[in-house]
Amino acid sequence: MVPRKFLIFLAQSAAIGIIAAAILIFLLPNNWLQSSNGAANTQTANSTNSGPFSYSAAVSRAAPAVVNIYTKKLVKGTRKFSTQNPQLERMLRNMYGRNVDQTVTSLGSGVIVTPQGHILTNNHVIENAEEIEVYLRDGRQLSARVVGADPETDLAVLQIPMTEVPEIAFGISQTLAVGDVVLAIGNPFGLGQTVSQGIISATGRNQLGINVFENYIQTDAAINPGNSGGALVNAKGELIGINTITSSKNGNSVGIGFAIPIVLAKEVMAHMIEYGRVLRGWIGVRMQNISPQLSESFGLTESGGVLVSGIVRGGPAHTAGLYPGDIIISLNDQVVTEERQVLNEIIRYRPQEKLSIKGIRNGKLTEWTIEVGQRPVYGALTY
């Protein structure tokens, strides 16, 4: 049997606890319990979601500077007749002519990047266009002129005749990391301005065979026909790239799209605004990487270097004495290991600057001093 004194002690302890709880509830704020629970819930949410729940602020900051671009060009083609009779079709072609001029329209996107109305876009968006119309987000429509175009990076600069424009802010593409959130803004399929969201899938993509100079940002943000030339922005709404292409054969998004980093786009744009074209160094050689088989056939004891496989007669390298079969191992004492490294290094030089090249000819170390020339217009090179 429980002692009577012990029961009295339990009753007194319970009474004291109830009185203490009542005093605490009376003295503390009414929303204390709710605030505590809210803080705990917020902490849990923040620990599992490091990013914002909405990117509307970033879109509001960047979207006004993204424009829709419509172009028209005249294409010569062959007139076609709908007939199942080959003889009749041949007769109609002879009577009414084979060739017909057709106006073709295309669409793309662009980004206003200066207060003077300069617009960055892709070269393939405006290539051979006879008319270029730019539609701003606020409904204004203006004709644009081509300031410069660069097929080797697939970039172009347009300008519209107005100064009060919604200029975009630049981000820093050199510090991008895989997993960073990005937004693609453009005009897919001519639907009008559209935003898609994704992440950075990879950086520094090259050797894709798309352009001569490649250093792409890869993203899974949807990039479809019409997005070309549009903006790739970060979560702050800052421009980090110019959307250019998707990997699918039909041009539709498959989760692998590419954008030109803004650091490259700004460099190209500065040249086009100042000179109307991009000034790049050139020495007039075609090169290829040295495979283990080639290395063995040339009797090379060390790996590295690139093989001169072709040369432009009368070009800077030919004038300096280089010939096919020579092996370039360094530029201005910087060791080179692959063809793309040599190309990217040479284009940084300005015309008439001197370049020291060390190489191997017939197993002997040789050195040449070359006066760098101006890289010819794309497609005009012959070897």
10-residue block means of pLDDT along the chain (383 residues)?
54 60 54 45 40 86 96 73 62 62 84 96 93 93 95 94 89 90 93 93 82 87 91 96 75 81 94 91 90 74 80 92 91 88 87 91 90 77 46
Can you give the pLDDT at residue 164? 83
Per-residue confidence (pLDDT) for residue 48, from 0 to 100: 37
Other beta carbons less than 10 A from residue 50's beta carbon: 6
Report field, pTM of the whole predicted structure over 0.75: no
Enumerate the active-site residues. 124, 154, 228
> 282 and 347 in contact (C-beta within 8 Å)?
yes
pLDDT at res. 284: 92
Three-state DSSP class for residue 273: helix
Per-position DSSP letters for 332-381, written without gaps between them: TTEE--SHHHHHHHHTTSPTT-EEEEEEEETTEEEEEEEE-EEPPPTT--
Domains annotated for the chain, with CATH where assigned, are 66-159 (2.40.10.10), 173-265 (2.40.10.10), 281-374 (2.30.42.10)
